Structure 1
Amino acid sequence: MTELELTDLDADHQLLELSGTTLLIFTSTGCSSCRWARLHLPDLELPVERLAWIDAGNNGGLVSRYEIFHLPALFAIKDGQFYGPVQAIMNPTALTQALNNALSRPAEELP
């Protein structure tokens, strides 16, 4: 699984250009759940082509646009389309089901 580090400067361009499914994840170094996600999500067998990480502490513009209130915050993006939040406990089965639920909603433009 590919991993990307995105910032306020390049996230929109990258996310619009990527084909396939991306799990967009906002994290922060001071968040223990975020550290767990960083360590373990890449090893889970998830139905995504890539994980895209955004450091919430350094990218306030994206945090504001995506209306991030808690971390980690996960979102589904497929073929440049935004499918909204992915809310699940951090295990493969729950995340896969939440991703499938998100991708079944109508697509929107990126925030």
Structure 2
Amino acid sequence: MSPDDIELTATPIGRDLLILITGGVRHIGAASTAYLEGDTPKVHTSAVPHHKEHTLSESIALQAAQVLQRTVTVVMGIHYDNLTPQGIQEVVRLVKLKVEQYLLQQK
């Protein structure tokens, strides 16, 4: 498996939005919910021990909540065996690109 199988799926839940980002061996590594309290964005994150997805899910949830002006939960689970530091950077780049493309489509 390679990072080109990363998928972003968005599901409206009433006024809110659930974004699922997976790749490689899919699983739940972290979930972040961002919401606006007045003009101030807030976020709550739950991460499975020994997983690193929360390092991305938090900032993505905050970004999406601010851009879309709605509550957004991002659930992430991406795993590839034996990724090099360059491979990790490529995964991060692809995830951010998919999020940017999605948010641009929503405007």
Normalized against structure 2, the TM-score is what?
0.30
Higher relative strand content? 2
Rg larger in 1 or in 2?
2
